């Protein structure tokens, strides 16, 4: 079975060696083998686990909760419901993040339009309502 060094895994997953050591210390990588001298040997299954860990981290899940998930995986089929529920919760969290990002994108798109129009006109005055003397979009 092919194994990978910590530096190979770090490079492959765009993580630091420090991060991988931290994950190991926190118990997120319970199946990583070591040589007699203590060098970590990562298998493909360890790399797959790291991808899930990074996915969960990207959703904002704390390391402590990720560790609970890893422990559930080690416990086998008796924890299938907990793992399923956790991913349903993560899905809802990501959907909420996506909605917030959509709102953020709308503001950014408006500001791109605002500044492009002002640049083309050579002035922000293009956005003023001449009848009311009001600027509809703040310049910040």
pLDDT single digits (tens) 12-65: 999 999 999 999 999 999 999 999 999 999 999 999 999 999 999 999 999 999
What is the sign, positive or negative, of the torsion defined by CA atoms of 15, 79, 25, 64?
Answer: positive
CATH number of the structural domain 1-58 = 1.10.1660.10
Proportion of the chain above pLDDT 70, given as a percent = 91
In the chain, where the domains are located = 1-58, 80-140
Question: What single DSSP character describes residue 43?
Answer: -
Question: What backbone phi and psi angles, to 5 degrees, belong to 80?
Answer: -55, -40
Q: Which pLDDT band holds residue 129 (cuts at 50, 70, 90)?
A: low
């Amino acid at each position: 079975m092919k194994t990978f060094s910590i530096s190979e895994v770090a490079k492959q997953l765009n993580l630091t060696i420090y991060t991988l050591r931290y994950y190991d210390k926190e118990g997120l990588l319970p199946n990583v083998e070591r040589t007699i001298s203590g060098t970590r040997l990562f298998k493909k299954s360890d790399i797959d686990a790291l991808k899930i860990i990074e996915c969960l981290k990207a959703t904002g899940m704390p390391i402590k909760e990720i560790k609970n998930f890893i422990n559930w995986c080690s416990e086998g089929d008796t924890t299938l419901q907990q793992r399923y529920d956790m991913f349903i919760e993560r899905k809802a969290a990501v959907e909420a993040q996506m909605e917030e990002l959509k709102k953020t994108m709308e503001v950014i798109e408006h500001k791109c339009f605002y500044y492009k129009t002002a640049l083309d006109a050579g002035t922000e005055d293009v956005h003023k309502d001449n009848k009311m003397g009001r600027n509809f979009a703040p310049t910040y």
